[in-house]
C-alpha cells in the first residue's frame, strides 16, 4: 500500500488554559477556595494577597532589542498598569471581617489507638501482642475485620517474618474482640451484634431471647420474617418485639462512632446568603469567594528594570521570559476569580428568581420544576457550567442552609395538566409512609393508587424509584410488630 499525503480542513474547539482554570475554580466550594488560593500564592511569587497599594505609577518605557522589534512578542506596558479588579468594588460582596469563622475541635484518639492502649491489660505473649497489633491495624473505619485470616497469615510471614497459623490468629482475635468498644473485630454484622449482645447478658430473658435470635435466626430477622421466628422459637409476638427492641439498640458500626467523635468537626460554609427584606429577596456572595489579590510590585519593578536596559544578555532574556510568564499567570488567576464570582452571582440570581415563592415561604410545595437547562437558558451559559456551579455549593436562607442541588427537580403533569415538581410527590410519599400502619405497610402499588387519588398519575415503578431516592425500604422491611 503506497503512502499518500493529503490536506484537509476541520473545525474543532480547544479550551485555553484560562478556560480550564476557570472551570476548575467554579467547581471549588468556598471551604476549599482559600486552600486553592494559598496553593497559587506558593507557586507564583508574582501573585500577592492584599489590597492594591496606592503607589505612584512607574515610568513606562518601551523595551526594544537591538536585533529588532520583531523579537519582542509582548508589551511591557500591560504588566506595569495598576488596574484594580472590578469584583473588589462590587457592592454585593462581604468583607472577610463579616464572616463568622469557626474553630474546629481538636481531634482525639482513634478507636485503634484506644484499643492498642488496652492491650497492656491483657495477658499476652510478645508474639501475641504483635499479632493483636497487626489485627487492630487491619480493622476498617467501622471496626470490622474484612480480610480473611489466611491472607493475614501470609502478610505476617512476609512483612513481620512471623510464622503463625489461622488457629493462632483466631485465638488472638478473640482477645481483640474483648476490647472496647464492644463489637470491634467482628468479621460481619451478625458477629458484631452477637459480640455486643453477649456482653449484655445479665440473666434477663428478653436479652437472652435477642441473643438466640441473632445466633440462630439472623437471616429471617433481617428479612423480617417474624412469623417464622415465633413459630420456630415458640415465643409470642410480644416476646419477639421486646427482643427486637434490644437488638436495634446495638451499634452496627462500633468503630465508626469513636472515629467520628475523634474527627475535627467542620462546619458547612454557605457560598451565598439570601435575605427577605420586606418581601424583597436580597442575594449576597460570601466574601471568601472574592479575596483581595494583587500583582507583586516587586515583579513589576523587575520588569521595568529590564525594559530600561539597552541590551540584554541571554541570561537576562531568560529572566525576562520567566517574569513575564509569572505575571501572565497572576493576571489570569485574578481574572478567573473575577469570572468565577460573576458566574456564581448570575447563576444564583437566576435560581433565586426562578424559585422566588419558595425562598419567600420556605414551603417545599412551592418549589417549581427546575432543571439545569432552565437556568442555563436564563444566564446564557452552557449546562456543564451550571452543573459546576451547583456542585458542592450551599446557600443560607432564613429557613436553613441548603445545597444548590436541593432546588433542582424534574417535573410531571397532574390530571389537570398542571406541571408540578417531583419534590412535591416525594413529600406526599414521605407523609404517606409516616402515617401508614407499621403492622401492614403500604406497598408500592398502594402508594401509586394513593397518588392517583390525589391527581398524580404515576406508575408503580416510578413510585419505587422515588421511594429508593428517599431511602425508604420496601414494605416488607418497614413492617413492625
439-457 mean pLDDT? 88
Least trusted range by pLDDT, from 89-93, 187-191, 255-259, 384-388: 89-93
Residue with cell 502478610: 155
Options 1.10.10.60, 1.20.120.1770, 3.40.50.2300, 3.40.718.10; CATH of 410-481 = 1.10.10.60
pLDDT at 252: 92
Please, which residues have CB within 8 angstroms of residue 12's CB and are 6 or more apart in sequence?
A: none
Residue with cell 402508594: 447
In the structure, what pLDDT confidence band is assigned to residue 290 with cuts at 50, 70 and 90? low
In the structure, what pLDDT confidence band is assigned to residue 421 with cuts at 50, 70 and 90? confident
pLDDT at 15: 61
Q: Which of 107-111, 287-291, 421-425, 469-473 has the highest mean pLDDT?
A: 469-473
Compute φ and ψ for 269, nearest 5 degrees: -100, 115
- The grid coordinates of residue 350 equal 437566576
pLDDT of residue 318 exceeding 50, the answer is: yes
d(CA 76, CA 300) in angstroms, rounded, equals: 9
> Mean of the per-residue pLDDT values for the chain?
79
Using alpha carbons, select from 155, 209, 152 the residue that is nearest to residue 185: 152
pLDDT at 70: 38
Least trusted range by pLDDT, from 88-97, 158-167, 177-186, 371-380: 88-97
β-pairing, 394-397 with 400-403? antiparallel
Residue with cell 529590564: 306
Angle at Cα 300 formed by Cα 299 and Cα 304, nearest 5°?
A: 115
314-354 vs 383-390: helix crossing angle, rounded to 10: 80
CATH 1.10.10.60 in the chain: give the residue spans: 410-481
d(CA 336, CA 428) in angstroms, rounded, equals: 44
pLDDT at 53: 56
Q: Which of 16-25, 267-276, 290-299 has the highest mean pLDDT?
A: 267-276
pLDDT > 90: percent of the chain: 28
Least trusted range by pLDDT, from 23-27, 98-102, 422-426, 428-432: 98-102
Is the model more confident about 410 or about 106?
A: 410
pLDDT digits (tens, 9 = 90+) for 65-82: 433 443 444 455 555 555
pLDDT > 70: percent of the chain: 78
pLDDT at 10: 72
CA distances in angstroms from 442 to 241, 425, 431, 449, 474, listed in the order given: 21, 16, 12, 10, 9
d(CA 475, CA 203) in angstroms, rounded, equals: 35
pLDDT of residue 31 exceeding 80, the answer is: no
Please state the length of the chain.
481
Query: Would you say 359 and 294 are in contact if contact means Cβ atoms under 8 Å apart?
Result: no
pLDDT of residue 89 exceeding 70, the answer is: no
pLDDT at 188: 94
Using alpha carbons, select from 462, 470, 393 the residue that is nearest to residue 430: 470
pLDDT digits (tens, 9 = 90+) for 185-205: 999 999 999 999 999 999 999
Please, which residues have CB within 8 angstroms of residue 169's CB and are 6 or more apart in sequence?
A: 131, 135, 149, 152, 153
pLDDT at 52: 61
Least trusted range by pLDDT, from 101-110, 227-236, 325-334: 101-110
In the structure, what pLDDT confidence band is assigned to residue 351 with cuts at 50, 70 and 90? very high
Amino acid at each position: 500500500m503506497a503512502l499518500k499525503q493529503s490536506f484537509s480542513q476541520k473545525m474543532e474547539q480547544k479550551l485555553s488554559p484560562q478556560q480550564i482554570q476557570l472551570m476548575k475554580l467554579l467547581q471549588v466550594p468556598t471551604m476549599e477556595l482559600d486552600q486553592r488560593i494559598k496553593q497559587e500564592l506558593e507557586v507564583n511569587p508574582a501573585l500577592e494577597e492584599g489590597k492594591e497599594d496606592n503607589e505612584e505609577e512607574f515610568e513606562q518605557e518601551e523595551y526594544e532589542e537591538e536585533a529588532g522589534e520583531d523579537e519582542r512578542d509582548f508589551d511591557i506596558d500591560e504588566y506595569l498598569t495598576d488596574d484594580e479588579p472590578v469584583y473588589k468594588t462590587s457592592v454585593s460582596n462581604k468583607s472577610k471581617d463579616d464572616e463568622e469563622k469557626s474553630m474546629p475541635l481538636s481531634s482525639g484518639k482513634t478507636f485503634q489507638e484506644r484499643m492498642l492502649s488496652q492491650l497492656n491489660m491483657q495477658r499476652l505473649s510478645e508474639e501475641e501482642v504483635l499479632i493483636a497489633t497487626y489485627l487492630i491495624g487491619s480493622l476498617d473505619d467501622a471496626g470490622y475485620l474484612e480480610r480473611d485470616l489466611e491472607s493475614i497469615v501470609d502478610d505476617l510471614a512476609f512483612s513481620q517474618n512471623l510464622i503463625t497459623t489461622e488457629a493462632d490468629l483466631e485465638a488472638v482475635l478473640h482477645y481483640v474482640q474483648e476490647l472496647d468498644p464492644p463489637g470491634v473485630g467482628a468479621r460481619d454484622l451478625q458477629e458484631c451484634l452477637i459480640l455486643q449482645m453477649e456482653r449484655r447478658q445479665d440473666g434477663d430473658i428478653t436479652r437472652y431471647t435477642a441473643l438466640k435470635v441473632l445466633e440462630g435466626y439472623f437471616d429471617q430477622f433481617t428479612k423480617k420474617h417474624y412469623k417464622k421466628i415465633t413459630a420456630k422459637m415458640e415465643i409470642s409476638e410480644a416476646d419477639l418485639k421486646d427482643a427486637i427492641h434490644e437488638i436495634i439498640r446495638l451499634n452496627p458500626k462500633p468503630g465508626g462512632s469513636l472515629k467520628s467523635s475523634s474527627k475535627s468537626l467542620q462546619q458547612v460554609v454557605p457560598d451565598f446568603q439570601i435575605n427577605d427584606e420586606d418581601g424583597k429577596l436580597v442575594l449576597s456572595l460570601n466574601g471568601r469567594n472574592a479575596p483581595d489579590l494583587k500583582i507583586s510590585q516587586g515583579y513589576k519593578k523587575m520588569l521595568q528594570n529590564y525594559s530600561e536596559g539597552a541590551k540584554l544578555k541571554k541570561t537576562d532574556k531568560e529572566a525576562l521570559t520567566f517574569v513575564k510568564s509569572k505575571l501572565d499567570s497572576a493576571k489570569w488567576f485574578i481574572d478567573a476569580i473575577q469570572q468565577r464570582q460573576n458566574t456564581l452571582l448570575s447563576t444564583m440570581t437566576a435560581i433565586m428568581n426562578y424559585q422566588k415563592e419558595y425562598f419567600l415561604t420556605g414551603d417545599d410545595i412551592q418549589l417549581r420544576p427546575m432543571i439545569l437547562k432552565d437556568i442555563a437558558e436564563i444566564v446564557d451559559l452552557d449546562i456543564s457550567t451550571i452543573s459546576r456551579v451547583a456542585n458542592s455549593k450551599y446557600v443560607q436562607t432564613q429557613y436553613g442552609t441548603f445545597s444548590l442541588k436541593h432546588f433542582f427537580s424534574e417535573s410531571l403533569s397532574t390530571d389537570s395538566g398542571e406541571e408540578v415538581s417531583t419534590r412535591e410527590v416525594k413529600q406526599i410519599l414521605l407523609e404517606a409512609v409516616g402515617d401508614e400502619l407499621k403492622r401492614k405497610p403500604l406497598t408500592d402499588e398502594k402508594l401509586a393508587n394513593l397518588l392517583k387519588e390525589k391527581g398524580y398519575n404515576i406508575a408503580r415503578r416510578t413510585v419505587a424509584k422515588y421511594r429508593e431516592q428517599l431511602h425508604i425500604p420496601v414494605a416488607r422491611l418497614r413492617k413492625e410488630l
